Amino acid sequence: MSHDEEQSMNGFAMGRRVLAIMLGIALVAGAAYVFLSRPLKVAYVTLDGEATSTRCLRGKVVYVVFWATSCATCIKEMPDLVKTYERHAPRGFELIAVAMAYDPPEYVANYTRKHGLPFKVVLDKDGSIAAAFGGVNLTPTAVLIDKRRRILSRFVGEPDFGGSLHAAIERELAS
């Protein structure tokens, strides 16, 4: 094989690799789009014993936060979550605090009662709710859901309560 033929074959092989990588990226992007654009369908039971699901949230802007009583950042942000809920709830905003499967139910119930959390608190007893939201395993992790039950944004760690989070909620409530 001549030098020119060898270079041509190497270029062809590299082109195929680049094409395969681009195809892989497109498939991942497509899967992410489908996951994020489909309406969520998750059933859950609140601490108060109310059996419900995300289907009941159609027409509302929803913030779902995954938390644990052992998570210092989660506990630190709770007063801001209460203020966010109280500020936006009259306009069709819902907040659901999902306690992680490893959090002892009595700790969650005691914290909720002691601090008078005004929003729905849910125990994710078997991890199925965290799995339905894309395999959440870090706290705090939250998602903002639009009126058609589609995920708009995902937050890992404490969000910017004073700016971007409230702006996103306001924008969705106005739409």
Chain segment 15-40, per-residue pLDDT in tens: 566 544 544 444 444 334 444 445 57
The pLDDT of 57-62, averaged and rounded, is: 91
Token pair 């809920």 in the structure block, residue: 85
Q: Indicate if the pLDDT at residue 138 is higher than 70.
A: yes
Cα gap 47→53, rounded to integer Å? 14
Q: Indicate if the pLDDT at residue 157 is higher than 70.
A: yes
Q: Indicate if the pLDDT at residue 101 is higher than 80.
A: yes
pLDDT, residue 51, reads 87
pLDDT band at 58 (very low <50, low <70, confident <90, very high): confident
The pLDDT of 71-75, averaged and rounded, is: 97
pLDDT, residue 9, reads 58
**pTM score of the predicted model:** 0.76
